[in-house]
Amino acid sequence: MVGIVGYGVYVPRYRIKTSDIAELWGEDGTKIGPGLGVFEKSVPGPDEDVATISVEAARNAIKMAKINPLDIGAVYVGSESHPYAVKPTGTIVAEAVGCSYNMTCADFEFACKAGTAAMQSAMGLVASNMIKIGLAIGSDTAQGRPGDALEYSAAAGGAAYLIGMKNPLATIEETVSFTTDTPDFWRREGEDFPSHGARFTGEPAYFRHVGEGAKLLFKKTKTTVDDYDYFVFHMPNGKFPIAMGKQIGVPKEKLEDSLVVRQIGNTYSGSAMIGLARVLDIAKPGSKIFVVAYGSGAGSDAFSITVEDAIEKTRGAVPTVDDYIERKTYVDYATYAKYRRKIKALG
């Protein structure tokens, strides 16, 4: 069966506390963190972007899987902050990890679920025997307009998954998607920052799509909440996934391990994929994982995953999600503004 043969993540080293952002804009810093469920967020260095984050994550995945990169038949990178508008990030990743030139490559875009859409495409190519292994990456250096609510959560990070048939460390039994035309969050061509529909991003957008995606997957796999040990939902903030869990009756402890958003913020295309990686870092063979990624615009991709015995042999091969979370240096708002090119006079 199609499964994950290796995975790797990357989170930049710099962090800014949400309380520091709040105080700059005259808000109460003590209330923002607990209110949003985001206490600090990752900030990319001045020489980091989606290409560099993707390469680091992909190198970790390849090292974990112990595969020959020449066996990778497809490289797909999902992001909404690709460094080039025209020139695929995937080409840079493929060259940097040592892929063959005889492979297919493309960049994906579907807000925060572009990476899971890439996973589904790789699954299709592997299941139809068109390729041996597919590399699917979700990675972002998310932008938030200074002073906007998004600025508290828009973070940077990425995860890479190698999808294959041979000796998977976790099998993907089923995947379903739910897609509609819902304008909850967007960025027009040439604009530096995205816009959003404020409260509209909740009920008709995130909750409807994640909820429907989850329902579809339960129905298709004939399973219930009780059949799963871990749940991973897209994490635009710390509140939404918990509220989503409550709506469909997920006990809090089954969701807790995936909530990386509290320490690193919303890594957009990397969000659910890093949450899944954190669960894979600790899950025992036989555990079942229920994942629903969400992308504004809007849609959800849901996956039913079972952890296999092979996962035990991969432990310690590459840095875990927690290793990256713990490796951090705090920066102040001025340094954050300099690194994120919010100071326009600097070019």
> Is residue 190 close enough to count as binding another protein by CB under 8 A?
no
**Contacts of residue 85, Cβ cutoff 8 Å, sequence gap at least 6:** 189
Is 112 in the active site?
yes
Stretch that binds another protein, among 91-99, 139-147, 148-156, 177-185 (CB under 8 A): 91-99
> Least distance in Å: CB of 251 to another protein?
9
DSSP 3-state of 65: helix
The 140-169 site mask, x for binding another protein (CB under 8 A), equals: ------------------------------
CB 208 → another protein: shortest distance, Å? Answer: 29
Choose the catalytic residue: 82, 196, 209, 234.
Answer: 234
By C-beta, is 166 or 315 nearer to another protein?
Answer: 315
User: Do the Cβ atoms of 162 and 72 come closer than 8 Å?
Assistant: yes
Q: How far apart are CA 217 and CA 302, in angstroms?
A: 7
The enclosing H or E element of 329 equals strand 329-330
- Active-site choice (56, 105, 112, 308): 112
CA distance 242 to 189: 33
Report d(CA 30, CA 37) in Å as an integer. Answer: 12
- Contact letters for another protein, residues 239-258 (x by CB under 8 A): --------------xx-xx-
Please state, in angstroms and rounded to a whole number, the distance separating the CA atoms of residues 328 and 147.
24
Give the C-alpha separation, 333 to 123, whole Å: 41
Instruction: Report yes or no: 137 and 78 within 8 Å, Cβ to Cβ.
Output: yes
Binds another protein by CB under 8 A, chosen from 286, 327, 332, 334: 327
| Interface pattern 48-87 for another protein (x via CB under 8 A) | xx-xx--xx--x-----------------------xx---
Ramachandran region of residue 297, left (φ > 0), alpha (ψ -120 to 50) or beta? Answer: left
In the complex with another protein, the residue whose CB is nearer, 44 or 297, is 44
Q: Give contact residues for another protein (rule: CB under 8 A).
A: 13, 45-49, 51-52, 55-56, 59, 83-84, 92, 95-96, 98, 253-254, 256-257, 281-282, 284, 315-320, 322-323, 326-327, 329, 338-339, 341, 346-347
